[in-house]
Amino acid sequence: MSNGSMPNDGGGLILTATEARELVRAHPSAATYVKRFLGSSETIHGDHRYCLWIPTDSLDGALSIAPILHRINQVRTHRLASDRETTNHLATTPHLFGEVRHTGARALVIPRHSAEDRPYLPFDWVGGDTVIGDVTVHALARRRGPVGPFRTV
């Protein structure tokens, strides 16, 4: 099990469903940089959020979209304002999550935060196009095919 990716962005890289929809509607080329984002709340409650996922080799294209440029500048400002030297250093790559663990593989996602009296373990199976947030843990899917019942050995 591994932790998900941590934005450390002050909210600049995370989008609500409405923000993602409006960004892509106004700037269709932005769709390349918008991915589904899954954290604890999304896993437990079925909420929908998205994130900007901008590989360094695609940065010039992303920066040509004004709202994305604005958000990246927000991230830079947030990171520079931190008291932590490590976070300040992340300001040199404000288009990237602070901790990148996204592999592009299918995964089983389990929230790290859930009610202790919940009578079941919430989880979700996601494809490689979903970025898993750091408030979850995940295990990469090692096989293809349907998921069967779990059993103890």
Print pLDDT tens along the chain (153 aa): 666 678 889 999 999 999 999 999 999 999 999 999 988 777 777 788 999 999 999 999 999 999 999 999 999 999 999 999 999 999 999 999 887 766 666 777 777 767 777 777 777 787 778 888 865 555 555 555 555 554 444
| Domain presence at residue 150 | no
Burial class of residue 87, CB neighbours in 10 A (0-12, 13-18, 19+): middle
The encoded tokens of residue 153 equal 């050995």
What's the CA gap between 8 and 100, in Å, rounded?
A: 11
What is the span of the domain harbouring residue 41? 2-140
| Domain presence at residue 148 | no
Contact 78, 10 (CB under 8 A): yes
Report how far apart, in Å, the C-alpha atoms of 64 and of each of 27, 34, 149 are. 10, 15, 48
| Domain presence at residue 85 | yes
| Domain presence at residue 149 | no
Residue 17 phi, psi dihedral angles, 5° rounding: -60, -40
| Domain presence at residue 48 | yes
Q: How far is CA 23 from the centre of its chain?
A: 17
| Domain presence at residue 21 | yes
| Domain presence at residue 47 | yes
Predicted local confidence at residue 45, as pLDDT: 75
| Domain presence at residue 20 | yes
Predicted local confidence at residue 143, as pLDDT: 55
What's the CA gap between 59 and 97, in Å, rounded?
A: 13
- Domain total in the chain: 1
Predicted local confidence at residue 43, as pLDDT: 73
Q: For the chain, how far is it from start to end, CA to CA, in angstroms?
A: 19
Contact 9, 78 (CB under 8 A): yes
In this prediction the pTM is 0.79
